[in-house]
Amino acid sequence: MRRLVLLLALFSLLSLTVANAQQSSPAPQLKPSEGDFTLHNFQFASGETLPELRMHYYTFGKLTKDATGRATNAVLILHSTSGSGRQFLAPKFADVLFGPGQPLDINRYFVIIPDNIGHGKSSKPSDGTRTHFPQYVYADMVKAQHELLVEGLAVNHLRLILGASMGCMHTFIWGETYPDFAAALMPLACLPVEITGRNRMWREMIIEAIEKDPEWKNGDYTTQPQQALRTAGDMFLIATGTPVILQKAGPTREQADQYLDDYVKRFAAAHDANDFLYAVRASRDYNPAPNLDKITAYVMFVNTADDFINPPELGIAEQEIKKVKNGRFVLMPASGQTSGHGTHTDAAVWQSYLKQLLDESQY
């Protein structure tokens, strides 16, 4: 009898060890399908027209439709300023959301992640047109996303739109412009009002740094204007970092200086000055506040208390979300898990709110 008890205990311990090992093992690297769709004679809000606008995109899963032909499982995920769809392929996002049994399990959902106008592998100034590229704004970017879905991917309805930072602002525009298109919206890390105050100021600092660099040459440079990009990198580091994270990165004078130098070098190497200028300037007419009452989708709006770009002490989010019929705002306190503005891509921190949104908006 004692042998039997020992064997059962050993078997239980072995089973628990295997289960724990399976839970801690990283998910296999997910590989999306990639594609390009060309929008012909695309007209921008400025009145300019581009004969061919290329929209690059990534997808996971397969699209399903009901008996009426309505898409039932499509999810649109929208990236941040100067980012691309690839930011959502990182393990801290994809491995938390896209795996079996996870909130956006790609065996259930058709996930669409576009590179927006001016970003990634979609049409942008650095393709060759430089400052002759149309002066796009957020409304143009959302319009192109809509045309990609409807004309390129045959998606006529979305189960969810999830947007981070710039994508967060696009999500509010989506809710107002196409109120019946999506069942649920999850904006992460933005404010649904005109960009003013400090947020406007740091963006203008970047624009001025680029345009006043003699090496920019009105956008006709042959080599990247390094000082302009270094200044842009400086501003981006402060805007997206947090005191706690930057203190850990630079606990001594020497380490702080080295971290800053390394960061701006990487930033400058990874960005084109014209592309970045256009991306930052695209927010210039953003202001969804007057039309928030047009949003009919369920909204789970999440910010963090350590976000430099969207400071909670302004109280704007709490006030504006009252205009949204089915809206809820969550301000997550700063903690060892949050990372300032960049928390929008750290899905483990906020995935419980995504699950709640999907449950509440079932149809």
What is 175-232 written as a DSSP string?
Answer: HHHSTTTBSEEEEES--SS---HHHHHHHHHHHHHHHT-TTTGGGT-SS--HHHHHHH
H/E element holding 51?
strand 49-60
Q: Distance between the two ends of the chain, CA-based, in angstroms?
A: 55
For the segment(s) 33-194+286-360, the CATH number from 3.30.70.1150, 3.40.50.1820, 3.20.20.80, 3.40.50.300 is 3.40.50.1820
Per-residue confidence (pLDDT) for residue 299, from 0 to 100: 98
Token pair 């999907």 is found at 358
Q: What pLDDT is attached to residue 363?
A: 79
Q: Which pLDDT score is estimated for 29?
A: 65
In the numeric block, which tokens belong to residue 190? 């933005």
Q: Among 83, 84, 116, 113, which residue's Cα sits nearest to residue 98?
A: 113
Which single residue is written with the structure tokens 């990639």?
34
Q: Is the dihedral of CA 303, 309, 311, 317 positive or negative?
A: negative
Query: Minimal CA–CA distance to 153: which of 114, 116, 121, 186?
Result: 114
Hey, what are 7's tokens?
Answer: 């064997």
Query: Six-digit token pair at 118?
Result: 């001016």
CA distance 301 to 316: 12
In Å, the largest CA–CA distance within the chain is: 87
User: How many other C-beta atoms can be found within 10 angstroms of the C-beta atom of residue 257?
Assistant: 11
Burial of 141 (0-12, 13-18, 19+ CB in 10 A): buried
Highest CATH level, class, for 197-281? mainly alpha
Tell me the two tokens of residue 319.
């006030």
SS3 88: helix
The answer to whether the beta carbons of residues 343 and 303 sit under 8 Å apart is: no
CA 340 to chain centre: 14
Contact 208, 227 (CB under 8 A): no
pLDDT at 48 (0 to 100): 98
The residues with which 330 forms a beta bridge, in sequence order, are: 302
How much is the pLDDT for 30? 78
Domain positions in the chain: 33-194+286-360, 197-281
Mean pLDDT by 10 residues, the chain (363 residues): 40 35 45 97 98 98 98 98 96 97 98 98 97 98 98 98 98 98 98 97 97 97 97 95 94 97 96 98 97 98 97 97 98 94 97 98 88
Q: 217 — alpha (psi -120 to 50), left (phi > 0) or beta?
A: left
Burial class (CB in 10 A: 0-12, 13-18, 19+), 352: exposed
Buried b (16+ CB within 10 A) or exposed e, 185-212: bbbbbbbbbbbeeebeebbebbbebbee
Specify the pLDDT at position 10: 35
